[in-house]
Each structure stands twice: as C-alpha cells, then as structure tokens.
Amino acid sequence: MAKSFYLETFGCQMNVVDSERIVATLHDLDYQQVDNPEQSDLILLNTCSVRDKAERKVYGHLNRFKALKQENPRLIIGVGGCVAQQEGEKILKKLPFVDLVFGTHNVHRLAELVGEVAVRRGQQLATEFLDRETRLRLFPRRAAGSGIARFVTVMQGCDNFCTYCVVPLVRGREISRPCDEVLDEVRALAGQGVKEITLIGQNVNSYNRQEATAPDFAGLLQQVHAIEGIERIRFVTSHPRDLSDPLIDSFASLEKLCPQLHLPVQSGSDPILTAMNRGYTVADYLGKVERLRAVRPDIRLSSDVIVGFPGETQEDADASLALVREIGYADIYLFLYSPRPGTAAAALVDDTPAAVKQARFEAILAAQKENSQRIWGADVGQILPILVEGPSRRNGEESLFGRSPWNRIVNFRGDPQLIGSIVPVKIIRNNTNTQFGTIL
C-alpha cells in the first residue's frame, strides 16, 4: 500500500513554492498527499516566523499531532520553513515527538532526511545555510504545481535588514536566479498552457543588484513579456526604495503587466521609517506613487502597514492613517508590531500600551475599509476581462472562477471549456475578497 503524507503551508509565496517542491519530492518517494493528518504516515509543516502569532500557531499544531504519534509510533513528523530555520534544535529538544527539522536552505535534502528517520528513527536536523554557488545550483527548478496562473521565483533571501524583520535571518542573503533560467521556466510553463506568471521574491526589484552586467528587474520583465502564450504578468514583493524609473515605465510600455502593485510602505512617518531602516521617506514614496499613476492611471496599489513599532507616537500613527487615506490603497495588510528574535528592533524599548496600539490599528483598519469599498465597489456594473482559472463551487452550484486585471477573484457561471481564456464578465456584486459576475 502506498504511503501518505499530510502537508500544511504557512506564510508567503516562498513557502508556497517550497511546498510545491516538497510535494514533488514525496511523490517521487511514492507518498500520496491526503487532507487529513490522522490518516497519514508523514506529517510536514512548512512554517512562517514573520510574527510571533505565526510561530505560536506552529507549536499549537505540533502539540495536536503529539497524540497521533502516541497512537502510531511509525508516524513521521517534520517541521520545515522559517520557524525550523529560526529554532532548529530547540524544536527537537522541546518536542521529542518531532522527528525532523529542515531549514529554508535544506528543502532539497528532504528525501534523504525522511529516509534516515524511517531507517534509524533518530531525530534529524538540517538547518545550515548554503554558499552562494550551491544555492544557485539548487535554485528551485520547475515547480510541480498546476494551473493557469503560476509563481516563478526570481530571487531568494533578503539583504535589507529592516529592523523589525526576521526574513533576512531565516532566508539568508539575497541571490538572483540567472535570467536564462527564469525565461526557460516561463517558456516551459507557457508550453503547458500557463497564461499568467507572478514573478516572486522578497524584494524582486533588487533583482541582479550584485550583477552589474546582467539584466535588472525591468530588463527581466521585458524579456518575460516577449514570451508567447503568457498573457498576464504580475510581481511581488517590491521595496519602494528599489522601484526604479525604468521599472515604473514598464507599467506604461508592457501591456501584459497587470495594473496592480503591492508596494509596502510600513509607516507614514519619517522618524519611524528611519528607525525601521527602510531607506526612503514618505515624500520619496509619494513621488513614486505619483509617477506610477501618471504612467498607468488605472493602477491599484496595496501595502503592508505596521502599527505599534517601538517608540511610535500618536503623531506617527496619525501620519500612517493620513497616508492610507491619501494614497487610497485598494488593499492593505495591517500588522501589529511583533518583536522577533535576533532583529535590531527587538532590543528597543516598546512601552506603548497594547490598548493604545489596538486603537491605532482599528482607526487605520476603518479608513482602509472605506478605501476598499470605494475602489472595489466601483467595479460593479463594469465589464472586466477575466482570466478563467478553474471550476469553483458556490452554494453547491457549479461555476467558474478567474481573476480581474487587479487580481480580484471573480466567480461566475460558465462552460469549463473557457478555462485558460480571457472572457468579458460584467461584475454584479462585490463581496469582501471576491466579486460575482455574469459572462457576456
């Protein structure tokens, strides 16, 4: 009988891509994926440690699996991703029922590590960082996922060291994948019928920062744009400091580039941006937004905002609120500051009462709700080009789902043969995260 595995993925697109690779590795080992941890021979969590809450969630899940291990001593439990990288051996000590901890640079060793556990039943740990050459050699190859819209990794790691952020510590230094490899992957995906590509990395617009002779991110985009069969291109995430003029101009010159950009501002106050080591001022940021809107008037922006960074005054928080209103983001991801081990900000005095932070959070959330309702609500009655991605099930009724140019999921009734094409859909209703329409 084939063995089975259960995999849960937390965090950002980096983990989603790593999980595709984990799935492919386990398929090669004759494991089949199941939705229920109770029926599996191998449980893996691919974890995120960007905030304390994300990390605690991992421990919560693991403790639930402890009982399963007591029932079935042959069960293998493994932890990968950013919490694994950050905590390493501590997980194995704290939770003796965990068999395997593998970090962000060790996904390629999964088969070997699972084999070791199966044979020896000893705990396995693999959290060492790899050198640049090895990482380039092992760069995630063609991902194993499926679908019409796919992620392609262009760079890994981060050198920015924003003072609150654990990512540079758990993902290591920035490396850019050679341009030819990215293009080969996109061409292969286009050959399989993929229509939309999202280029991903922690800071995609610093692509090839260290390689002066190789194409920068704007250059890469141009080449991806030339690939036949690909109809839509997006990218995430962009650091405002590295959003160059040529990249801004791409939004005018490359018609496949969707009119949508996630450009995390983090704070609307210069002293806080400085304390965060973000490398731009509010005025710099507003200037870039102005240029983006000049070259692509229909562009919709989204952002990340952190509330309650150490030392944040009411004035700083009001400045973030004012900026959220002024920019009129389509969406924001709002976070309460969470001190992370090993980061510079973790050493700062953080004496703002939790209730005060919460009130600041609620104020920005309410302002954003107005933005979102205004911007997404305006789609109602419009006819939008929707790239059909697959079947969806709503209220027990068969229907299709796709995405608008602004990346909103739109549900509508239609023939499954439309999957993979762009069709005109009139938007009828706007819900919180999705829209509903009728095909024309």
Would you tell me which residues interact with ligand SF4 (CB under 6 A)?
Answer: 158, 160-162, 165, 167-168, 202-203, 239
Q: How far, in Å, CA of 390 to CA of 416, rounded?
A: 7
Minimal distance, residue 138 CB to ligand SAH, in Å: 21
Cα dist from 435 to 147, 236, 261, 347, 380, whole Å: 20, 22, 19, 44, 9
Residues 148, 194: contact at Cβ < 8 Å? Answer: yes
The residue (of 78 and 168) whose beta carbon lies closer to ligand SF4 is: 168
The residue (of 240 and 405) whose beta carbon lies closer to ligand SAH is: 240
User: Which residues in this chain contact ligand F3S in the complex, by CB under 6 A?
Assistant: 11-12, 14-15, 48-50, 81-82, 166-167, 170-171
Residues 261, 217: contact at Cβ < 8 Å? Answer: no
Smallest CA-to-CA distance from 316 within 267, 359, 275, 366 is with 267
Among 42, 76, 92, 165, binds ligand SAH (CB under 6 A): 165
End-to-end CA distance of the chain: 49
Minimal distance, residue 406 CB to ligand SAH, in Å: 19
Contacts of 309 (CB under 8 A, 6+ apart): 164, 267, 272, 275, 276, 316, 337, 345
304 contributes a contact to ligand SAH by CB under 6 A: yes
8 contributes a contact to ligand SAH by CB under 6 A: no
Pairing of strands 100-102, 124-126: parallel
Q: What is the CA radius of gyration of the chain?
A: 22
Residue keyed to tokens 């944040």: 312
Among 78, 80, 168, 264, binds ligand SAH (CB under 6 A): 264
Minimal distance, residue 308 CB to ligand SAH, in Å: 8
267 contributes a contact to ligand SAH by CB under 6 A: no
The residue (of 80 and 264) whose beta carbon lies closer to ligand SAH is: 264
Number of residues that bind ligand SAH (CB under 6 A): 17
Q: How far, in Å, CA of 336 to CA of 308, rounded?
A: 6
235 contributes a contact to ligand SAH by CB under 6 A: no
The residue (of 185 and 312) whose beta carbon lies closer to ligand SAH is: 312
DSSP string, 217-283: HHHHHHHHHTSTT--EEEEE---GGG--HHHHHHHHH-TTB-SEEE---B-S-HHHHHHTT----HH
The residue (of 166 and 257) whose beta carbon lies closer to ligand F3S is: 166
15 binds, among ligand SAH, ligand SF4, ligand F3S, none (CB under 5 to 8 A by kind): ligand F3S
31 contributes a contact to ligand SAH by CB under 6 A: no
For the stretch 116-146, what's the b/e string if a residue is b when 16 or more beta carbons lie within 10 angstroms of its beta carbon? bbeeeeebbbbbebbeeeebeeebbebbbbe
340 contributes a contact to ligand SAH by CB under 6 A: yes
Angle subtended by helix axes 354-377 and 314-327, to nearest 10: 10
Among 40, 203, 205, 372, binds ligand SAH (CB under 6 A): 203
Phi first, then psi: what are they for 103, rounded to 5°?
A: -85, -175
List beta partners, residue 6. 43
Among 18, 25, 51, 110, binds ligand SAH (CB under 6 A): 51
Residues 351, 387: contact at Cβ < 8 Å? Answer: no
338 contributes a contact to ligand SAH by CB under 6 A: yes
Minimal distance, residue 376 CB to ligand F3S, in Å: 25
161 binds, among ligand F3S, ligand SF4, ligand SAH, none (CB under 5 to 8 A by kind): ligand SF4
The residue (of 168 and 268) whose beta carbon lies closer to ligand SF4 is: 168
237 contributes a contact to ligand SAH by CB under 6 A: yes
Binding site for ligand SAH (CB under 6 A): 50-51, 164-165, 167, 202-203, 237, 239, 264, 266, 304, 306, 335, 337-338, 340
